[in-house]
Structure 1
């Protein structure tokens, strides 16, 4: 696979804001996930991926095979996030917030998310979810991630983002991002996405509104990663609620 690189400039917040958010919102409505344009340069991706070996930047490491989550490892950052990771999280929140509130309205659910990310995280901490949930994942040959949801308590933001840090077809093969959706009174539907380096995939944390003859219904979704066949795959996970 040949990697294409867009010339990027300006702060990360501007790169996120320049996305076609009307189209992204439509794709999230239709599929529960949406691929962004390029957000990070190859050098920025390499810089974040290289942090994986800096144990001082992380609060814990999870061996997926040990917990029967799959195979491979991921690490949770401390609250002292790298600048780029912090900037990405703060840039995405206001763009995702209108979608989250719209989904809650359709489903007749509360929308507890305030205008600022800091206010929302304060509410998470008051509820006992006070650990960083930002994730750096590393997969090697044969590694995979079981279908799951990143829900760590009652305080949940309905959307999250994963950013590819290595080039598919160049640095690794396999390792597609997987999603399954449990449809009302029907068989589940699956999808796979190849995540280009520096691009983000916005996806449903737990469920999304699905139109039915009786109105709006919850469409539960799970995500995972297919088996990496060769090379090494790193991704950055941005979660907009903290963990218990």
Structure 2
């Protein structure tokens, strides 16, 4: 009998190096211009399959949301229990310091406080002291006909202004449709929409609530919502990294 060779998964340290090796000046420029920015590949196919497999293992999650029941769209997502799987935690910790500089710059432009400390651990401790002590890391599953209504992931007063979604399936092979949608309400103008395909293992950084938009009076806050277009066929899974707790 021939034994199957175990799939090789990426170690947390390698994930951190991949995040650090991204072109952060280019990502920052895209976020400033569009409110979203695509990252290079972060997770390999084996990593993606392992995270998808977690979806059916109850022990990994604290709660499940049926979107149709709450009129959020159609499909389901699950909140990871704390602590989340090692790759999820590694990616979250690796992204935080890079996103922190952008968050502080945006707060300065909008004349807002920047309450985020230098480390993710310190920031989460502040969230917990404010009563936000539940994990907000999400694993989403969509089937044919499912979609996600435009929304913002706000769970309390403590909010980090950027988050990340990572595609776990191959668009065009595992599923069709299901583009990630971002809609920005521009000051004194009609809204602008951006649709993005998430390649397997790649991430998309986007704004959680609003972002600074240059106006005749300086900087204004442009409210932003995000969602997912209708999945036409197959199954689409994605990982959501949120940098404040619920």
Band the TM-score falls in, shorter-chain normalisation: over 0.9
CA distance in 2, matches of 1:132, 1:161: 15
1:26, CA displacement in angstroms? 0.3
Deviations 1:24-49 (A, max 9, x none): 00000000000000001011011111
CA distance in 1, matches of 2:184, 2:213: 10
Unmatched 5+ stretches in structure 1: 1-6
Q: Alignment partner for residue 35 of structure 2, among 9, 32, 37?
A: 32
Indicate whether 1:44 and 2:47 are aligned. yes
1:176·1:192 contact (CA, 8 Å) conserved in 2?
Answer: yes
1:80, CA displacement in angstroms? 1.9
Runs of 4+ that moved beyond 4 A: 7-10
Indicate whether 1:87 and 2:112 are aligned. no
Which residue in 1 is equivalent to 2:117?
114
CA distance in 2, matches of 1:239, 1:160: 5
CA distance in 2, matches of 1:90, 1:9: 10
**Change in CA separation of 1:103 and 1:214 when aligned onto 2, cut-off 3 Å:** same
Query: TM-score by structure 1 length?
Result: 0.96
| Pairs within 5 Å for 1:2-17 | 11-17=14-20
| Pairs within 5 Å for 1:152-171 | 152-171=155-174
Unmatched 5+ stretches in structure 2: 1-9
CA distance in 1, matches of 2:11, 2:187: 42
CA distance in 2, matches of 1:69, 1:132: 20
Indicate whether 1:186 and 2:163 are aligned. no
1:33·1:203 contact (CA, 8 Å) conserved in 2?
Answer: yes
CA distance in 2, matches of 1:203, 1:8: 25
Indicate whether 1:239 and 2:235 are aligned. no
**Change in CA separation of 1:136 and 1:9 when aligned onto 2, cut-off 3 Å:** closer
1:208·1:220 contact (CA, 8 Å) conserved in 2?
Answer: yes
**Change in CA separation of 1:185 and 1:126 when aligned onto 2, cut-off 3 Å:** same
Which residue in 2 is equivalent to 1:4?
none
CA distance in 1, matches of 2:203, 2:189: 30
**Change in CA separation of 1:125 and 1:8 when aligned onto 2, cut-off 3 Å:** closer
Which residue in 2 is equivalent to 1:228?
231
1:156, CA displacement in angstroms? 0.2
Which residue in 2 is equivalent to 1:151?
154
Q: How many pairs align? A: 237
Indicate whether 1:21 and 2:37 are aligned. no
Query: TM-score by structure 2 length?
Result: 0.95
1:191, CA displacement in angstroms? 1.1
Q: Alignment partner for residue 222 of structure 2, among 219, 222, 237?
A: 219
1:151, CA displacement in angstroms? 0.4
